[in-house]
Structure 1
């Protein structure tokens, strides 16, 4: 996750969950990423998790790196695009906590801040991709994460994730896997749940490369995000970018 306090535009709260879902606070789910830019694959993961878990998905844009330029758009633009992409979408919400804090913002620190806000008894989950799970041993204080949150892993069907876990990760996750959202709600942290994620084309890297190279890219992002990118000339599109405040 990102670093440093960022100036970002206000984002409006999203629509509440349909009444068939449990109370949103019965499971707090956070989905972090740079969202640079937010694309249809991100939204597919968030929607699938929302429907499978029956709760709000809090999408957290990462802060800008403190010692170098952002790889694509800065935090203000990324937050605004994310807000536009999920405006009016039930059960998806922008969470700016990583942009509002000072200093480095590691996942473990973010989850500790969540615990300070909501207490130790509320079930909390971090939504990550399978590749992020495989890289978990490189994260700061990664073993502490199991005491702070559940991990919900968006896994593409047929990925054989079990066969790819490094030994240290296989040992750390042994006995933690569960097969339902109900199991996550039964304890505050420490469990892992697979979500079989439908394959969706495109990635943020591909979107940026296509824009910079003049290739087709509009069908990889929501229409409002495409309009925003064009209006602000992001990712090398037609010259210098304009500020997010315009």
Structure 2
């Protein structure tokens, strides 16, 4: 599972999903847009529209799934609830992985029921080479004894471990910067899939009207 606001989805999101699948040997990657992210500002675009952009961005990419389950729930989009649904679907022995970026990882201890995440899935932190912040005491305690150093070690159990992973391609793209470019009337060409760009422009999303 790779969650996020995807506001909008861009090539960094999609390339990370492809490489996660390859490096970890995953059958599929569920890309799950958050409806109401608990620890972030509200997205600029409505949840269903962000899901549509994600579906356009994925297109026919093998192994990537645009998963709208969080849009069907009321209230905040708690990741533990999403993982519980995936665990129920795939069974108790399936290897489930939740991937998150380094910024989100640093706030993990503040998430809703963070211990429950490890009972449901492994966590994979997508490392950033320019981001080396110390861990808080609460986060250090949360992950104590869970970290492994390889995908092979991660996959020996269905859940409960943590792997920090540097992906082969590190695209320095940000949805915030893309929104700022759109608001300023600047080009977003080659920052996101053409189908996503076409819909954004056709519907005047993120633009000053």
Q: TM-score, normalised by structure 2?
A: 0.89
Give 1:230 deviation, angstroms.
0.6
Matched, 1:63 2:35: yes
1:43 aligns with 2:22: no
Query: 1: CA distance between counterparts of 2:15 and 2:129?
Result: 14
Q: In the TM superposition, what is the alpha-carbon distance from 1:111 to its structure 2 partner?
A: 1.7
1:94 maps to: 66
Q: Is the 8 Å Cα contact of residues 35 and 76 (structure 2) preserved in structure 1?
A: no
SS in 1 for 2:166: strand
Q: Which residue of 1 aligns with 2:52?
A: 80
Q: Which runs of 5+ in 2 are unaligned?
A: none
Please say if 1:105 is aligned against 2:77.
yes
2:131 matched to 1:171?
no
Cα distance, 1:199 vs structure 2:
2.9
**SS of the residue 1:63 aligns to:** coil
Please say if residues 176 and 192 of structure 1, whose CA atoms lie closer than 8 Å, have aligned partners that are also in contact.
yes
What value does the CA root-mean-square deviation take over the aligned residues? 2.0
Paired residue for 1:199?
Answer: 170
CA shift in 2, pair 1:91/1:62, >3 Å: same
Change (3 A) 1:108 1:64: closer
The structure-2 alpha-carbon separation of the partners of 1:202 and 1:158, relative to structure 1 and needing over 3 Å to count, comes to closer
Q: 1:136 to 1:70 in 2, by over 3 A?
A: closer
- Secondary structure of the residue aligned to 1:233 is coil
Q: Does 1:226 align with 2:197?
A: yes
1:64: Cα distance to partner? Answer: 4.6
- Normalising by structure 1, report the TM-score: 0.77
Paired positions, count = 205
Q: How does 1:97-246 map to 2 (within 5 A)?
A: 97-157=69-129, 159-160=131-132, 164-197=134-167, 198-236=169-207, 239=209
| SS class of match (2:124) | strand
User: How has the CA–CA distance of structure 1 residues 98 and 150 changed in structure 2, closer, same or farther, with 3 Å as cutoff?
Assistant: same
The answer for unaligned runs of 5 or more in structure 1 is 1-29, 240-246
Does the CA-based 8 Å contact 2:95-2:157 persist in structure 1?
A: yes
Aligned residue in 2 for 1:11 = none
Using the alignment, how far apart are the partners of 1:219 and 1:159 within structure 2? 25
In 1: Cα distance, 2:205 partner to 2:87 partner: 36
Partner SS state of residue 116, structure 1:
helix
| Comparing 133-142 and 175-184, the one that deviates more | 175-184
CA contact (8 A) 1:72 1:208 kept: no
Q: Which is higher, the Rg of structure 1 or of structure 2?
A: 1
